[in-house]
Structure 1
Amino acid sequence: MKTATIKEIKTELNTCSHQELIELCLQLSRFKKENKELITYILFESTNENEYIIQIKTEIDEQFNMINTSTYYFIKKSVRKILRNVKKHIRYSKNKETEVELLLHFCGKLKHITPSIQNNIVLKNMYHREIMSIQKKVQVLHEDLQYDYTIKIKELLI
């Protein structure tokens, strides 16, 4: 089966009735958890981005508290999972400020994890890679936000 292009899908969706569109959305939500999460974000959480950020930060805190810190192997595995989850939520939002806020919070939690990430090359590289990514994303934001976020980045680099 050949997959249709976005343009073809958009054209076809324009011909669908309201009830057919509802059925399509519900059918999509049944197949993957990510589809259901995206629909939930669009319908309920996209109107209040600050509340969404707070909710995701709380989720990040909970996930960091659940990390098994007995070995660096388990820490790396858990941190990768948390980062993957954070990036998924960033994809839903598509808002640069949300992206920077969530990544800064992730890096702050990662920096203060015990045992220290300074003793593990993989975790240290992951941390620095995300800091560099944040610095690039901050450059496209408003000047006032750039200043605020630059201060937060400098705090994380100390």
Structure 2
Amino acid sequence: MATDAYGLADIKKEIQHLAAPQLADLVLRLARYKKENKELLAYLLFVAGDEEAFIAQSKYEVSMMFYIMPSQAFAALKVLRKILRLITKLSRFSGSKTVEISLLIGFCNNYLEYVNPKVSYKPMRTVFIRQIEKIGKLIAKLHEDVQGDHQQEFDELVVKAEEKLSWFTV
């Protein structure tokens, strides 16, 4: 029988019957094969308990990527997409919408700070607009108690963008 024929439920049942040393061997073997598996395991073991520190460290990494971004529009767009891939990966690791919103708001703030506001390259503008739309949709999915905190940050971001970017309108 092929290995892909087993579903997640079957794997979960089998894992529950394993002893701790066997389970540790399996996890380490998984971590050896893919870099992303190793990164996820490191996140779960060392960082998951301190979400605020994780957000701060991630925002710092993103801002450093913005800082070294080239000035040519095409090359800068490639860096923006790379940053967004990193944010997506980090958001999947945490599994939290609030972390994703915080990272995306940080991305947009860095965009406003480091990207030339007069850039006429439409794909660069589209990246920013899509992230603003994504943040709005994510905030709408949150519980009402948590929405208020992020909504205020989002509103400030939109006002800042309207002031700085002549082409941006909500």
Residue pair 2:73, 2:119 contacting (<8 A) in 1 also: no
Match of 1:26 in 2: 28
Cα distance, 1:8 vs. partner? Answer: 1.3
Q: CA RMSD, aligned part only?
A: 1.5
Letter in 2 for 1:78: V
Q: Which residue of 2 aligns with 1:120?
A: 121
Describe the shift of the 1:30–1:67 C-alpha distance in structure 2 as closer, same or farther (beyond 3 A).
Answer: same
Task: Report the AA paired with residue 132 of structure 1.
Answer: E
C-alpha contact 2:58 2:103 (8 A) present in aligned 1: yes
Offset, 1:43: 0.8
What residue number does 1:55 align with? 57
Residue 150 of structure 2 aligns with which residue?
149
Unaligned residue ranges in structure 1 (runs of 5+):
none
Q: Taking every aligned residue pair, what percent have the same amino acid on both sides? A: 32
1:111 equivalent in structure 2 = 112
Counterparts of 2:119 and 2:148, CA distance in 1: 27
TM-score after normalising by structure 1: 0.92
Maintained 8 Å contact 2:67/2:114: no
Give 2:41's aligned residue. 39
CA contact (8 A) 1:61 1:109 kept: yes
The structure 1 segments of at least 4 consecutive aligned residues displaced by more than 6 Å after TM superposition are: none
> Number of residue pairs matched?
157
Q: What is the match of residue 79 of structure 1? A: 80
Deviates more, 1:138-147 or 1:107-116: 138-147
In structure 2, C-alpha distance between the alignment counterparts of 1:88 and 1:126, rounded to whole Å: 17
Shift of 1:62: 1.0
